[in-house]
Amino acid sequence: MEDALIIELYNKRDERAITETDQKYGKYCFVIAKNILSDDGASEECVNDTWLTLWGLIPPEVPKCLRAFCGKITRNLALVAYNKAVAVKRGGGQTALAIEELDDCISPENVERECEIKELARVIDSFLRALPKKECDIFVARYYFTYPTGEIAAKFGMSENHVRAVLSRTRKKLAERLGKEAWTK
């Protein structure tokens, strides 16, 4: 079913909207949640929470891209669930590792207020748009979707060491750019 028709079902408060969304984007959202949470049960719960959130947001929201809208909601819910789990028990996983890798670029003190966060997002977005497509795709796969470096290597037909090298160079470029914009530690 086309996204516009699914959104129309939400607007009509027709429960088939959830079924259609799950059929079309359930696996996509599950992968996002699983990459962050590393737990099938928690990921399923996160995807179900995504549908509940969608039900509450549409209407009045009218997403331009339903797939991206679902993915963003799932990612945010998974990060909240992850933070709760980490608060209970300190553990490893790809999310902690990915965040730790970026820690050298971003100062927590600089991102405390909402307007600073928006400006930081603008700078990072501008940085990503200036990167070659493959480098940008690798960076986004790691730091937005939190894919393990092995999966990224397989997806791009590269060695895992090459992916790590690309990520390292890109982080250095980001740190340099953020330094010019006064965002580094």
CA distance 22 to 29: 9
Q: Strand, helix or coil at 183? A: coil
Cα 3 from chain centroid (whole Å):
21
Name the pTM for this structure: 0.64
Closest residue by Cα to residue 75 from 145, 143, 125, 164? 145
- Portion of the chain with pLDDT greater than 90, in percent: 54
What CATH number is attached to the domain comprising 65? 1.10.1740
> Which of 88, 107, 131 corresponds to the end of one domain?
88
Mean pLDDT is lowest, of 38-52, 74-88, 131-145, 152-166, for 74-88
> Are 103 and 72 found together in one domain?
no
Q: 67-89 burial string, b = 16+ CB within 10 Å, else e?
A: eebbbebbbebbbebbeebeeee
User: Does the pLDDT at position 167 exceed 90?
Assistant: yes
Tell me: do 75 and 105 sit in the same domain: no
Q: How many domains does the chain have?
A: 2
* Residue 114 is assigned to a structural domain of this protein: yes
185 lies in some domain:
no
Range of the domain at 63: 3-88
Identify the domain boundary among 56, 88, 120.
Answer: 88
Residue type, 41: G
The CATH number given to whatever domain includes residue 109 is 1.20.140.160
The pLDDT tens digits for 107-145 are 554 434 555 667 777 788 888 889 999 999 999 899 888
pLDDT of residue 169: 95
Residues 125 and 166 in one domain: yes
Structural domain includes residue 27: yes
Residue 58 has pLDDT above 80, yes or no: yes
Residues 11 and 69 in one domain: yes
pLDDT digits (tens, 9 = 90+) for 4-31: 999 999 999 999 999 999 999 999 999 9
The pLDDT, as a whole number, for residue 111 is 39
